[in-house]
Amino acid sequence: MPTTVYDPPELAPGTLRVIPLGGLGEVGRNMTVFEYEGKLLVVDCGVLFPEEHQPGVDLILPDFEPIRHRLDDIVGVVLTHGHEDHIGAVPYLLKLKGDIPLIGSGLTLALIEAKLKEHRIRPYTLTVQEGQREQVGPFDLEFVAVNHSIPDALAVAIRTPAGLVLATGDFKMDQLPLDGRITDLRAFARLGEEGVDLFLVDSTNADVPGFTPTERGIGPVLDQVIAKAPRRVVVASFSSHVHRVQQVLDAAHANGRRVALLGRSMVRNMGIAADLGYLNVPDGVLIDYKKARDLPDDKIVYMSTGSQGEPMAVLSRMANLDHAIEPGEGDTIILASSQIPGNENAIYRVIDGLTKLGATVVHKGNAKVHVSGHAAAGELLYCYNILKPKNVLPVHGEYRHLMANAKLARETGIPEKNTILGENGTVVDLRDGVAEVVGQVDIGFVYVDGSSVGEITDADLKDRRILGEEGFISVIVVVDSATGKIVSGPEIHARGVAEDDKVFDSVKPKIAAALAEAAKSGVRDNHALSQVVRRTIGRWVNQSLRRRPMIVPMVIEA
């Protein structure tokens, strides 16, 4: 059912308002706005990556429209961790107002500062760590360590007189994390004793039973695969997955191989992680990509981007033989990541392309080369039982994930009326332990397409899909401005239509007859005549060729 948009009432004194602007009903563009006493706090500001039905789009941003006129009221942006779906839209927000403070852990801020440097933005930042409390405007913030697939992730507890909110960010409960930094359940328990009035909790794996496996189980598998590989090894992962890169470095070192990083974001992010001490690089293991090509094939591991089948990423270009490294017989490709919903077709297309070239492709479906960074159902049940929150707003996930998370909350005793299944733009007010939906803001997709931001519309994407799937037909007709009679044409050209242009010879008399009839009725307006041409050839193409191409008619007066 379509979303019913209705304006929320004016915010009452002593009430905390919560509005997710992204991340609900999708895996990406996470962003939530909190309002109290006229001030706004933003938690995360990420991007969503486009799917196949959004051709040409580079990124999708949260819809800033509900806060665009209130940028001066933003007291800070809390970034829970350094993944693109949580920090990727920050440059676009700061282009609207450059002095909004960014708050996050050391690694998270280092990653976003490097990204902002490319946009020529120097941000105001506040570095925080677990256990720290900061007063930011009317918001009392406490930061809690959580374990995720990137170091230095934080949950944030937001205290106001209206109540205590806990937002987990992305998290899981790996009890043997590679960096020894576990999710701080003692802090969760303490917050539970204090009383959590609203719990915003990661839903990505809520429909997965049991517990997410530990990261430590991946290292031995990577070691075995690399040890058995006869030639080159390429490992594709997210460019911010520090733990996975660490495991690849260790496995390569153990097997006498060197590692070259491929992809601008991979090189940049791992350089930052190494400089800050989050990545331990064994001596002599890393080698420049250009020098790596001179090594024997059985002495090199390439660590690349492109694990989601992104068309312009390194792995896709390899599969299309559009990269200096051309995979072949004896090469081993490891996809060390999970599939983000919506990317399945693109990922399998890359796997098929690499397999066709003779490479052996190892992925999560046939080997334990990746574990998720998100809490499964068993871990979420522990959270609910430890925290005993009064109200729950599942976030970060497609709708089935949100529903599964809400079901878990109800199973632990949280009343159904206190479990809010929201969507982007849902307005929730919290006061005196009571959370209720009070409005629904109209939220759209903001597309980044090259240098344009927000200018591409859904209608433009529909045109692109038609061009890609059905083809293009242009019709040029020259008419006498006085009589309306055809002077020249119709001249018909088609692109992306299988039939030869001669097939249109039979429709030309129909176009001429339709224009003559329009002229007889006194129609002289070029636009109206163009629509006559469009309708005539459109009906003919649909009936004769069973196609619905884009038709561009051009009627010229002589």
Q: Which domains does the chain have, with CATH numbers?
A: 16-210+372-450 (3.60.15.10), 215-362 (3.40.50.10710), 458-557 (3.10.20.580)
Question: Buried b / exposed e across 506-528, counting CB within 10 Å, b at 16+?
Answer: ebbeebbebbeebbeeeeeeeee
pLDDT higher than 50, residue 1: no
Residue 390: count of CB within 10 angstroms of its CB: 19
Q: Quote the longest CA-to-CA distance of the chain.
A: 86
In this structure, what DSSP letter does residue 79 have? -
Comparing 350 with 104, the larger pLDDT belongs to 104
CA–CA distance, 461 with 467 (Å, rounded to integer):
10
pLDDT tens digit string along 42-76?
A: 999 999 877 666 666 778 889 999 999 999 999 99
For 168-205, what is each residue's pLDDT tens digit? 999 999 998 988 999 999 999 999 999 999 999 999 99
- Kindly report, residue by residue over 190-199, the tens digit of the pLDDT: 999 999 999 9
Which two tokens mark 413? Answer: 């005793």
Encode pLDDT of 382-438 as tens digits: 999 999 999 999 999 999 999 999 999 999 999 999 999 999 999 999 999 999 999
8-state DSSP, 8: P
pLDDT at residue 455, rounded to an integer: 65
Judging by beta carbons within 10 Å of its beta carbon (0-12, 13-18, 19+), is residue 381 exposed, middle or buried?
middle
Order the strands of the 133-136 sheet from edge to edge.
133-136, 139-145, 154-160, 163-167, 198-202, 392-395
452, containing H or E segment: strand 452-453
Between the two ends of the chain, the Cα-to-Cα distance in Å is 51
Could you tell me the pLDDT band of residue 109, with boundaries at 50, 70 and 90? very high
User: pLDDT at position 454, please?
Assistant: 63
